[in-house]
Chain A
């Protein structure tokens, strides 16, 4: 029972970060029909900003730990949205709907951004103190409050995104563009602006994951890239462009990783995921929740 609850807790905690990460990737694909190889760079930027603003806020400004974390989070979102707007307006908007071209562009951007991070921050891992260091017991499973907060925030953000897509005008535009860009433009929707909004929301989701993970794991200049291979596997399983697929796939891969990592080792878990993906592609080349086309 204890093991079961512990594994469930691990699944939720690993899975919720994966869900946030994969949601951004799948949203950007849905709206712009591009696969953003540089998605991890948004995550990394947010985490790195947190590691540099938090010590500054506590030491120089004398703020309390939660207040400085909040300030760091705001700074992180601002930085990521700026990076997102810059790479969109100087790059991605010229390769919309060009799958290979945009992928190649995003590879180039990833190299440039990683190089810049490395030049600024160097290679050493950076860490910040946990804001909620206490541990709680749920049915015998141990979970830090920090990780519990991560899961709750991820659920709230995912719910918020769902409402945004289903209930707002912007969400309607995003869905319309994802379904049929030309028909949406004929209805008078400004495609470029909708694409930019979708891109920035996607970037913000990656930033959210980065801000949440910064106090939990040490941050390096390539932290975000480690999620990329798993995010790819998630969106293959869930179907590219499918929001529900990203949620289901993210939790599923979180489960494979926590259960596989517990009984075997992390490498075996990654291998198992890949074999699963191949099996999925053989049976359903369009993903579990993907459409046939």
Chain B
């Protein structure tokens, strides 16, 4: 019952192009920029994924950190093999998010929002308090194995793109329809005998697994992680990507992440203006362009077509 649209193939082509670019780029900065954009895209897509059930999940930032720390602890402190460390990142993030979701999603109203923020800050606080994992300064020395070291950006880009397609696939499946039904009115899915709390938790778990994988890949791409990399600000940036790209369309987070990451390279480092820039993006997108760039493009196309007729 899936509708195949030409847009999907365009996205596949785009993903292949991104991986090829990361593989062939001669400037390592350009290759790592592709990984950075796709990492942000996965964060934004995961945030949007949970917005499907009507919840804003600030803990996206926390699960990103959990993935990165899981991989780094296993690789640096335990010396486990690369593939295993990378596999554990989404698993641990998913497991933790299941616990987190089970506690918070039984509540009604804004409690999920509030706890997801508190959770993110508390997890960050826990990292700083444990000396074995480096406390405030974090962990150093996660390197991909020699065999793929040279092509790591392409490898990471491929996995991140796969995560994006997986999220999209779930959204288009019957499960995705159930998520949307819950957002519209959760009494109706409940009335036909569905376990709404379980479905909500499942939604948060799927998003957390994608973000956990992104965290693990981020750890190997960056070679160093610190607690301050995983504050709630990560989720706020992801929110800005979703808002500027357009919440209504699966490509919205990707477009938003690409645009803002590239523009952000110019304002990064100037803390005051960086804040004002991202804040203004969120405010203006929310109030003036609720559909984001993709919604805007759709409106322009509609106008052009309307004029032609």
A66 interfacial contact with B, CB 8 Å: no
B279 and A103 contact, CB distance less than 8 A: no
B10 interfacial contact with A, CB 8 Å: no
Cβ contacts under 8 Å, A65 to chain B? none
Return A2 CB to nearest CB of chain B, in Å: 30
Residue of A nearest to B236 (CB): A107
Return A175 CB to nearest CB of chain B, in Å: 19
CA distance A232 to B125 in the complex (A): 16
A146 interfacial contact with B, CB 8 Å: no
Cβ contacts under 8 Å, B122 to chain A? 270-271, 274
Q: Which of A94, A110, A285 contacts B111 (CB 8 A)?
A: A285
Cβ contacts under 8 Å, B280 to chain A? 108, 111-112
CA distance A114 to B110 in the complex (A): 24
Residue of B nearest to A120 (CB): B272
With most chain A CB atoms within 10 A of its CB, the pick from B118, B125, B239 is B118
Return B213 CB to nearest CB of chain A, in Å: 26
Residue of A nearest to B243 (CB): A104
A278 interfacial contact with B, CB 8 Å: yes
One of B83-91, B100-108, B165-173, B200-208 at the interface: B100-108
B159 interfacial contact with A, CB 8 Å: no
Cβ contacts under 8 Å, B125 to chain A? 267, 270-271
A161 interfacial contact with B, CB 8 Å: no
Q: Which of A105, A109, A112, A277 contacts B118 (CB 8 A)?
A: A277
Tally of A-B Cβ pairs under 8 angstroms: 122
Return A42 CB to nearest CB of chain B, in Å: 16
Q: Produce 1/0 per residue, A11-46, CB < 8 A to B.
A: 000000000000000000100000100000000000
Interface size on B, residues (CB 8 A): 42
A61 interfacial contact with B, CB 8 Å: no
Cβ contacts under 8 Å, A95 to chain B? 286
Return B203 CB to nearest CB of chain A, in Å: 15
A62 interfacial contact with B, CB 8 Å: no
B129 and A267 contact, CB distance less than 8 A: yes
Q: In chain A between 269 and 293, which residues have their CB closer than 8 angstroms to a CB of chain B?
A: 270-271, 274, 277-278, 281-282, 285-286, 293
One of A49-57, A77-85, A194-202, A233-241 at the interface: A233-241
Q: In chain B between 97 and 151, which residues have their CB closer than 8 angstroms to a CB of chain A?
A: 103-104, 106-111, 113-115, 117-119, 121-122, 125-126, 128-129
Cβ contacts under 8 Å, A123 to chain B? 271
B275 interfacial contact with A, CB 8 Å: yes
B129 and A229 contact, CB distance less than 8 A: no
B281 and A108 contact, CB distance less than 8 A: yes
B257 interfacial contact with A, CB 8 Å: no
Q: Which of B107, B118, B276 contacts A285 (CB 8 A)?
A: B107
CA distance A234 to B206 in the complex (A): 30
CA distance A232 to B118 in the complex (A): 7
A116 interfacial contact with B, CB 8 Å: yes
Q: Which of B119, B275, B287 contacts A105 (CB 8 A)?
A: B287
Q: Which of B108, B243, B276 contacts A115 (CB 8 A)?
A: B276
Cβ contacts under 8 Å, A112 to chain B? 275-276, 279-280, 283
B286 and A105 contact, CB distance less than 8 A: yes
CA distance A159 to B289 in the complex (A): 43
Residue of B nearest to A287 (CB): B111
Q: Which of A91, A111, A233 contacts B287 (CB 8 A)?
A: A91
Q: In chain B between 255 and 277, which residues have their CB closer than 8 angstroms to a CB of chain A?
A: 271-277
A99 interfacial contact with B, CB 8 Å: yes
Return A10 CB to nearest CB of chain B, in Å: 21
A101 interfacial contact with B, CB 8 Å: yes
B182 interfacial contact with A, CB 8 Å: no
24 residue pairs bridging A and B, Cβ less than 8 Å apart: A91-B283, A103-B56, A103-B113, A104-B243, A105-B282, A108-B279, A108-B281, A108-B282, A108-B286, A109-B279, A111-B280, A115-B274, A115-B277, A118-B272, A229-B117, A236-B115, A240-B109, A240-B110, A270-B122, A274-B118, A278-B103, A281-B103, A286-B107, A286-B108
Further 6 A-B residue pairs, CB within 8 A, beyond A115-B271, A281-B103: A104-B239, A105-B287, A109-B283, A115-B277, A116-B272, A278-B103
Residues of B at under 8 Å CB distance from A?
51, 54, 56, 103-104, 106-111, 113-115, 117-119, 121-122, 125-126, 128-129, 236, 239-240, 243, 271-283, 286-287
Residues of A at under 8 Å CB distance from B?
29, 35, 91, 94-95, 99-101, 103-105, 107-116, 118-119, 123, 228-229, 232-233, 235-236, 240, 267, 270-271, 274, 277-278, 281-282, 285-286, 293
* Top 3 A-B residue pairs of the complex, sorted by shortest distance between their CB atoms: A111-B279, A108-B282, A115-B275
